[in-house]
A and B are shown apart, each in its own frame.
Chain A
Amino acid sequence: MVGCDLLGLRVFLMDLLLQTLKDGLTIGSLYALIALGYTMVYGILKFINFAHSDVVVLGSWLSLVIADKLLVLGQFQAVPWWMGAVVLILAMALCGTIGFTIERLAYKPLRKAPRLNVLITAIGVSLFLQNIGQQRWAFGTGPRRIPTLLDDATLLSIGQVNVKMLDVVGAGTALLLMIALDWLVFHTRIGRAMRAVSHSPANASLMGIPVDRVISFTFVLGSTLAAAGGFLWAMKYETIKQPADASWTLLGLKAFVAAVVGGIGNIRGAMLGGLAIGLLENFGVAYISASMRDVYVFSLLIVVLLVRPGGILGKAVVEKV
């Protein structure tokens, strides 16, 4: 009898472990996607783009609006399989445009200003987007449900753990986008220009690199990734909270922590950090306490700042006078 109970316990523990791993990796890939936007902007302009989390929100809400509109316009019998992809691409394009506009209007006039001023402007942009989004004519102050775009069938079950369609598609999309970004940054001309500007804007401009255009491109890239993150987030949780909800800022903060943990300014670091944060959070929730969910991530941040301020993949920077 005792052996039987032990076996049951072992199966339960195994399931819990697998479930936590799966949750951690799916959420972690989302964090990573959002963290990339923070890390790219930080790498080039050296400031925390607080408005990035609000672009994620925009991505979520625009996906909802686009999906609603398309479903009404198309009058489909059933939701076609390509619907999700179309919504994603449209949301990414719109958010890219918005990111470009934000950069041109709010950040570009401050290119030569102290970093603190840019940081404050970013907070201003963030507050502006949140509160415009809250207006009645925009997205309103209540949560809404995104229409189901993908049949969430179970693809694979191991014990009690079900790997579902959305998990695979979500993590897969995130992974694909990250691979594409990695290729773009490390194997193309514009990617080399981005790395050059990140290294030294002044020298890059002497070498004939159009610095302003590269910065704009970085913002567009970050914003499209944020939109993808927002879309996948909406697909995963279905209910989208109002734009000024604290959980959005918290999502952005965690993504930023992921960027810092991986080494701020380092693109592969952000991916690694995102996965690490996702795993840590879910293991904390599963094995310690669910109500302390938000505490683990920030504790990790403080530990990383104490032990290895450069992050996992970051290099210690010696400041020269």
Chain B
Amino acid sequence: MADLQRDNLNQPPSTARAAFDAVWPLLAAIGVGLLFQLVLRPNLNPYTAILMLTIGVNIVLAVSLTMVNGFTGQFSMGHAGFLAVGGYASGIITYYGSQKLFGSGALRAGMLNGMPIDASGLPLLGGGEWLFVIALIIGGLVSAGLGYIVGLPSLRLKGDYLAIVTLGFGEIVRVLIQQSGPVIQSPEQVKDAPLWKLPTAVGGALGFGNIPQYSSLFWVYLVAVITILVAVRLKRSSYGRAFLSIREDEIAAEAMGVNTTKFKIRAFVLAAFFAGVAGGLYGHQLGVSLSPTDAGFQKSFDFIIMVVLGGMGSISGACLAAIVVTLLPEYLRGVAEYRMVIYALALILMMIFRPQGLLGVHELWDAAFWRRKKRGGAR
């Protein structure tokens, strides 16, 4: 009896334990971010540093897409649309916000952005960086809201409707961004312009340049670690089991009392949120000028390739694939025009010969994954 009571799963964990569980991912994320920025960054040349930024952003995108395409088995093809929405929304906030608040669009960053510490001692975070954090969150929320609107009609239905609706969504976003007006350049003009006009002045087809470049290794990997931890915890939670059950058999899941529509929409909205945040990071990256093509399906394909190659539903697989797919073009420079042909062939051959992707549903940290290899594939 005593044993049974001690093992009772309904017993809530102690408050201290719960608080620790809630806080450690954030601390870990900050730790990893600091490590990358303060230890790694000084030893990298600018080229490698930019590549690392891109890898981080792609990890966020691939892992968030895994939540939809991998966990729930739905097929979203408009991830780039959410990326663009988040990027533009947060870009509007930091660009026009810093014009309004600080009188110029210049970078107001602290040490974590690689700014040198002079004798007076700059703070860890500059004033602009708080705006950046707010912008990232708002970008994510706008994206999530749109995700809800897009997901609601298409996720009620079974079948591939989500694929086609999200594909159309990305295209609509692209067309709408193309219709926008030119960027307002000087702080005086920004002051004079009415507030409603600012969100529509994002440069149209020319792209939205001049966004202050707040994305540093610290911020990118902070978000990447948070995204990964959220995905891992989600996968292990009752939510995650509901997601996976929908992927395995929607009818059976429904029979077991899973509200499939609700759970599909939850996964989709969450993925849209992280895609929006990743868009914010991408838009504030050095050397990136947001443009309408960022919302197009050709960009969405990149993330689909990452998720499929990594293994549908494997978080670590998606991370690995994000790294490989980002680095590959750098090594394929010689055969640059065949890059997409190689990807396409890899996709087809993968589906025919190893349809579950590199890792399948397994994670690198699964004990079973390593043991299975030792036993020689028996499982």
Q: What residues of chain A have their CB less than 8 Å away from a CB belonging to chain B?
A: 46-48, 106, 109-110, 113-121, 123-128, 130-132, 134-136, 246, 249-250, 253, 256-257, 260, 291-295, 297-298, 301-302, 305-306, 309, 319, 321
Contacts and interface: CB of A to CB of B under 8 A. Distances in A.
A319 B346 CA distance: 35
Contacts of A136: 337
Contact of B337 (A47, A126, A135): A135
Contact of B251 (A48, A302, A321): A321
Nearest to B341: A131
Given A48-B163, A257-B164, A295 B301 contact: no
Contacts of B153: 302, 305-306
Contacts, number: 115
B361 to A, nearest CB: 13
Given A48-B160, A48-B163, A120-B304, A295 B337 contact: no
A305 B167 contact: no
B268 interface: no
Given A127-B340, A253-B171, 7 more contacts: A123-B301, A125-B344, A126-B344, A131-B340, A134-B337, A260-B164, A309-B156
A131 to B, nearest CB: 4
A305 B160 contact: no
A293 B340 CA distance: 29
B304 A123 contact: yes
Contacts of A124: 344-348, 351
Contact of A128 (B171, B255, B348): B348
Given A253-B168, A321-B251, A127 B347 contact: yes
A127 B153 CA distance: 28
Interface residues of B, number: 44
Interface string B156-191: 111111011101110110011011000000000000
10 contacts: A106-B348, A113-B355, A116-B73, A118-B351, A119-B163, A123-B301, A124-B347, A128-B341, A135-B341, A294-B172
Contact of A110 (B158, B179, B344, B351): B351
Contacts of B163: 48, 119
B341 A48 contact: no
Contacts of A301: 164-165, 168
Nearest to A109: B352
Contacts of B75: 116, 119
